[in-house]
Copies of this chain bind each other. A is one copy, B any other.
Amino acid sequence: MAAGLSNALKTARHRLPSAAVRNYSIPVQQSAWGPATCGASGLDSSSGRAAPLFKSHNTPPVIHSFTQQTRFQSFTQIRKMSSSNSRRLNIDNINPHVRAAKYAVRGELAVKSEEFRAALLRGTSDIPFSQVISANIGNPQQLDQKPITFFRQVLSLLENPLLLEHEDVLINHLGYKTDVIERAKWFLKNVGSVGAYSASNGAPAIRQHIAEFLERRDGFPANWQDIYLSAGASSGVNTLLHIICADEKSGILVPIPQYPLYTASLSILNATCVPYLLDESKNWGTDINTIKESYQKAKDAGVDTRAIVIINPGNPTGASLSEEDIRAVLEFARQERLVVLADEVYQTNVFIGEFISFKRVLRQLQKENPDGKYDCVELASLHSISKGMVGECGHRGGYFELVNFDPEVQAEIYKFVSIMLCAPVIGQCLVELMVNPPKPGEPSYELYEKEYRGIYEGMRERANALHKAFEQMEGVECGAPQGAMYLFPTINLPPKAAEAAAKEGRTPDEFYCMKLLEATGVCVVPGSGFGQKEGSLHFRTTFLAPGTEWVGSIVKFHKEFMDQYR
């Protein structure tokens, strides 16, 4: 690669949000680092039993605490070990692209919160709170959300089909409705054992039902053969980026703020992230001129931008795009021949505005333009069982639909997913249940509808309560809850706080979030983990946690923090 281009790429990359590499730390127990120098045996030679290096731990996980001081001590300590041993792999010779990847959602704060949780379980008394609230990640069932009964009843029969030999017991003693039993039989006939591999791109019968769902949702036909089941949407994103990115010049437009899956995956692939800022002043919508500017800058720097990522509704922002914004993006994609990656996993988590799919608008544009000028716009849209009212993220299910993709490229996508064999089959079944839930009049409908509505209303109420609290907090600005599972308030912190943060080698938002965790047990993610406009500070919190006590503790903490640093 020419030096000029190489420098240009560096520049383009430099524009990336400084998603905190320092946010990331080591999830291992301190004692495991003890006598780990190599060359001196860690084994008691008489028994083969080990010194602490090999010690078997039956106690709950104790994760090393990273206060600022011990953190750097620990790194120094590890470093010393690494350089004095003769292991083949060390931090300086492993894959540099993995090393460069940043993923703050499960970074230092998350690790520390788990440490607090373990300490509370052990009954440690000097912790100023009684529970840890994991508001850092959209993990509904870890918090209050109950799974939907119909879904889980069907899955119980798929896991143990022998139960179907006792239909009377299921119905008369266990409250299973007949449609639960019928659905389970349909799966067993059309998908087979959930313990067997399916086709690499997913069970055909399930893909057909997804296509029917998309037809109902969008009012346009869908082809089941263009649908690929995946282990959550993350796995789908991984597949698509692997196909699209050919080399380090390959660029992908990514919204800022963004869910860091995108920047982390691009880092691992050694491709180029081309960031474009969302417009906070317009409810975090897309601004087509901003996108065009980012694209042009990257082009001038020699980047071969190939695709644009849109997260709609937004993560971390919750914003739903208007049809006008979607049209503008599709028109731009057409002009510049960009693949559109529409991450639509929050499509049912909408409180303000409405969800409009990219597929629907693209088909509408095709319909309005019989000259066929939109027929070559390639769209991949992703959905998931992890979010919405389903909230089954532990089951790792999702799918993506390809529109207007080249058949030869699709064959390569099929090959790529076949190397990992197939998505978890029980997760595939949950995708089917999500897109094909009980219908009005069917025996399980009433309960399903009640549970679904209850989850939706519960989320909205908690979002509003949290929003109300933020409105009372000095220096905090937060628009009304729009959707997804998150609020992403701006925090205006006093200069003294920024100074204290700098002393600890942290950004002010990281510093604030760490202090919040240490004081209240509430774990949130600093805005720097998603990217934010220079000079602005945010944090992302889910509104999934039940109760109001934790919200009160945030308000109290914030007041004390401001008093201390004002």
Contact between B426 and A364 (Cβ–Cβ < 8 Å)?
no
Q: Which residues of B contact A296 (CB under 8 A)?
A: none
Q: A221-B54, A416-B101 are in contact. Are A89 and B339 (CB under 8 A)?
A: yes
Q: Is the CB of A408 within 8 A of B197?
A: no
Task: Decide yes or no: A419 and B265 within 8 Å by CB, A243-B98, A407-B32 being known contacts.
Answer: yes
Say how far A225's CB is from chain B's closest CB, in angstroms.
Answer: 6
CA distance A199 to B27 in the complex (A): 10
Within 8 A of B (CB), among A28-82: 28-29, 32-33, 36, 38-43, 45, 48-50, 53-58, 60-61, 78-79, 81-82
Contact between B232 and A421, CB atoms less than 8 A apart? yes
Contacting A219 at CB < 8 Å: which of B48, B224, B261, B426? B48
Task: Tell whether, in the assembled complex, residue B404 and residue A424 are in contact, meaning their CB atoms are under 8 Å apart.
Answer: no
Q: Which residues of B contact A101 (CB under 8 A)?
A: 415-416, 419
Asked whether A395 is an interface residue with its Cβ less than 8 Å from the other chain, the reply is yes
Known contacts A231-B231, A394-B193, A421-B393; A89 and B406 CB within 8 A of each other: yes
Given contacts A38-B372, A415-B103, A421-B393, contact A193 B142 (CB under 8 A): yes
Task: Of the listed stretches A123-131, A166-174, A503-511, A513-521, name the one at the interface; the rest are far from the partner chain.
Answer: A166-174
Contact B39 A375 (CB under 8 A): yes
Residues of chain A from 405 to 428 with CB closer than 8 A to chain B in the complex: 405-412, 414-416, 418-427
Residue-wise, chain A 141-159 has the 8 Å CB interface mask toward B (1 for contact) of: 1100001010011011111
Contact assessment for B141 and A162 in the assembled complex, using a CB-CB cutoff below 8 Å: no
**Cβ–Cβ contact A156 & B160, under 8 A:** yes
User: In the complex, A412→B223 CA distance in Å?
Assistant: 40
Q: Return the contact of A156 from the options B39, B99, B156, B211 (Cβ within 8 A).
A: B156
**Bound complex: CA of A25 vs CA of B225, how far in Å?**
15
CB distance from A267 to the nearest CB of B (A): 10
Say yes or no: A208-B411 contact (C-beta < 8 A), given A39-B376, A41-B370, A147-B193: no
In the bound complex, CA of A378 to CA of B88 (Å) = 7
Cα of A378 to Cα of B196 in the assembled complex, Å: 33
* Chain B neighbourhood of A208, CB < 8 A: 57-58
Decide if B142 touches A153 in the complex (CB within 8 Å). no
Knowing A219-B48, A244-B89, A411-B27 touch, does A425 contact B163 (C-beta < 8 A)?
Answer: no
Residue-by-residue, is A109-133 near B (CB-CB < 8 Å gives 1, otherwise 0)?
Answer: 0000010000000000000000000
Contact of A42 among B61, B88, B375, B407 (CB under 8 A): B375
Please report the C-alpha to C-alpha distance between residue A243 and residue B469 in the assembled complex, in whole angstroms.
44
- Whether the Cβ atoms of B89 and A409 lie closer than 8 Å is yes
Taken together as a complex, chains A and B put the C-alpha atoms of A234 and B220 apart, in Å, by 37
Contact in complex: B174, A163 (CB < 8 Å):
yes
**Complex Cα–Cα for A118 and B406 (A):** 25
Tell me how far the C-beta of A100 lies from the nearest C-beta in chain B, rounded to whole angstroms: 10
Docked-complex contact B27 and A201, CB < 8 angstroms? yes
Q: List chain B residues, Cβ under 8 A from A396.
A: 231, 396, 421-424
Across the interface, A395 reaches (CB within 8 A) one of B140, B408, B425, namely B425
Q: Which residues of B contact A292 (CB under 8 A)?
A: none
Nearest-neighbor residue (CB-CB) of A50 within chain B? B221
Chain B residues positioned under 8 Å from A197 (CB to CB): 137, 139, 142, 393-394
Interface centre among A338, A406, A422 (most CB of B within 10 A): A406
Partner of A140, one of B196, B222, B372: B196
Smallest Cβ-Cβ distance to A99: which chain B residue = B412
Tell yes or no: A464 within 8 A of B by CB: no
Residue numbers in B under 8 Å from A204 (CB-CB): 60-61
Residue of B nearest to A29 (CB): B225
A89 and B411 contact, Cβ closer than 8 Å, known pairs A159-B155, A366-B43, A426-B426: no
Q: Is A337's beta carbon under 8 Å from chain B?
A: yes
- Is A3 interfacial (CB-CB < 8 Å)? no
Given A50-B221, A156-B160, A268-B416, 9 further pairs, Cβ under 8 A: A26-B408, A32-B223, A38-B372, A41-B369, A49-B221, A87-B376, A88-B378, A159-B426, A196-B393
29 contacts between A and B (CB under 8 A): A24-B415, A28-B410, A29-B225, A38-B376, A38-B404, A39-B375, A48-B363, A57-B208, A57-B225, A81-B406, A89-B409, A90-B406, A94-B412, A95-B244, A98-B412, A114-B199, A141-B193, A141-B196, A147-B193, A155-B159, A156-B159, A166-B174, A197-B394, A198-B394, A393-B421, A395-B424, A424-B424, A424-B426, A424-B427
